[in-house]
Structure 1
C-alpha cells in the first residue's frame, strides 16, 4: 500500500513539475519552431506548436546578411578568456580573503563588495574615455578586461571566499608540517578541493560574458568584431523593421548551445553555490 502511495506521489510530483515548467519551456520551443516557419505563420493565433511548412532558408540568410560565423567565434573566445581570467583572479583573491589575515582585511573586502552595488551604466562613460585614451576602442580588450576586473569577478571572489572558509584549517596545518608554502598549499590542496565552486563560477561567468550587450554596443563599431547579442540587433529590413524569421534563427543558434551546457552542468552549478553559505 505504501509503495502504491509512493508511486502516486511521484507521478503527481512529476506532473506538477511538468506543468510548472511549461511557462519556461514554451518560449524556447516557440523560438526554435518559429525560426523554420514562413513569416506569415510566426504570429498566427493560436500559435502552432509544430510547423506545418518547415524551411531552413532563414538559417542560411543569417550567414548571408552578417558575418555571423565570425561573430559567433568572437563571443566564444571572449567568453572563454573572460572565464579563465575570472577563475584565476577570483580564486586567488577569494583564498587571500579567506585564509590570509592582514590589517584592514574586512574593510577591504567590504570595499570590494561595494563593486556589486554600482550599475555598469554608471561606469560606462569613464570606462569608454579610459579605453579610448589607450587606443582600445573597437577592439575586444574592453570586453575582456572589464568583466575580469569588474562586478562579475567581485561576485566570483565572494563565492570562492565563502567556499575556502568552509575548508578545515587542519588541511593547511598539515601542509605546513609537510613544508608547503602559502602558494603551494593553495595550488595543491585548496584549489583542487574547490572544484564545485570553480564550476559554478565558470558557468555564470561564461553566461554573463556570452550575453553581454551594453559594453559591445559602446566599444565596438565594426561588424566583423561584433559579438552575438549585438549582432542580433542588426537583422533588419530596408525600412528598419525586424526580420523575424532571421532574428529567431540567429537567436536559436545563440541560445541552444548555452541551454545544453547549463543542463549538463547544472548539478555542478547548484553544488558549488550550495557550499557558499555554509560558514562565514
Structure 2
C-alpha cells in the first residue's frame, strides 16, 4: 500500500473514531468547567474557565478515596481469582478425559443463561445467613464463582483444546505430572487467553452495580459505580460537575488495565509458538 493510500485510510479511521472519542473528551473537559458552562449552548470544546473545584468536592462530599480503593482491590482480587479458577478448570476440561466430561461442561455453561437478577435474592439470603451482608465478600465470591468465571472457563478450554498435544509430550518424557504440565507448559502458552480474560473480568468487576446496591449499605464500603450515584444536591438533583470529575477519575484505571493487558495479549500471541 502506498503512503498516500495509508494516509487516506488513517484519515478515514480518524473520522470514524470521532463519534466514539467525543463523549470522553466532553466528559474530561466538562469536569474542569464551572457548572454553568457544562450545558452551555453552543457547547464548548475547551473550558473558558479552568477549575478543579469539582475534583476537590468529590473527595469531600463522601469518602471517595476509600471507595476508589474498594473498587481497585475488589477488581484485582476478582481478576486474579477468575484467572486461577478458569485456567485450571479450562485445562481440566480440555485435557483430562473422564466419563461425563462433556455433559458436566454443558451444565457449567448453563450458568451463562441465567440472568444475575434471577439469583440475586437467593444469594442475598445465603450471604445474610453467613453474616456477609455489608461486606465485600459477596462482590468477590459471586463473580469468581459465577457467570464471568464460566465465560472465562469456556475461553480457556477452547484455547487449551487448540494447543497441540505434542507440546506436552516432552514434559511427559521428563516425568512431569499433570499439574506440572499445566504450570510449566500449558499456562505460559496461554498468555493470549489470560490477557483477554483479565480484560473483561476487570471491566466486569469495576463496573458492577447491581450486587453493590444489594449487599452494601455503608458509604465507606461503596464501590465506584454505587458512589457515583450519591453525588446529589440538597434537592436530590445531580451535581453534574462533581459527577463528571468522579467519572473521569473512575475511567483512568480501566484505560490503564486495557493498555497493559492488550500489550500482554499481543506479546503472548507472538511467543506462543502455535501457528494456525
Q: Same fold (TM over 0.5)?
A: yes
Alpha-carbon deviations, 1:53-95, whole Å to 9, x = none? Answer: 0100000000000100000000000011111110110000000
Structure 2 counterpart of 1:237: 233
CA change 1:272–1:104 in 2 (3 A) is farther
- Give the 3-state SS of the residue equivalent to 2:262 in structure 1: helix
- Pair 1:100 & 2:96 matched: yes
For residues 36-115 of structure 1, what are the structure 2 equivalents within 5 Å?
36-115=32-111
- Give the 3-state SS of the residue equivalent to 1:19 in structure 2: helix
Aligned partners of 1:77 and 1:144: how far apart in 2? 10
C-alpha contact 1:199 1:269 (8 A) present in aligned 2: yes
Count residues with an aligned counterpart. 273
From 208, 224, 227, the equivalent of 2:204 is 208
Aligned partners of 2:37 and 2:12: how far apart in 1? 31
Shift of 1:202: 1.1
Structure 1 counterpart of 2:114: 118
Alpha-carbon deviations, 1:117-163, whole Å to 9, x = none? Answer: 11111110110011001110000000000000000000110111111
Gaps of 5+ in 1: none
Alpha-carbon deviations, 1:217-246, whole Å to 9, x = none? Answer: 000000000000000000001110000000
For residues 12-31 of structure 1, what are the structure 2 equivalents within 5 Å?
12-31=8-27
Moved more, 87-96 or 252-261: 252-261
Aligned partners of 2:263 and 2:14: how far apart in 1? 19
- Pair 1:6 & 2:17 matched: no
Structure 1 counterpart of 2:247: 251
- Pair 1:227 & 2:223 matched: yes
Shift of 1:256: 2.3
Shift of 1:203: 1.4
- Give the 3-state SS of the residue equivalent to 2:238 in structure 1: coil
Shift of 1:208: 0.8
Aligned partners of 2:117 and 2:144: how far apart in 1? 17
Aligned partners of 1:221 and 1:267: how far apart in 2? 38
Gaps of 5+ in 2: none
Aligned partners of 2:49 and 2:24: how far apart in 1? 19
Shift of 1:173: 2.2
Q: Give the alignment's TM-score, normalised by structure 1.
A: 0.93
Q: CA RMSD in A?
A: 1.9
Structure 2 counterpart of 1:195: 191
Shift of 1:108: 0.9
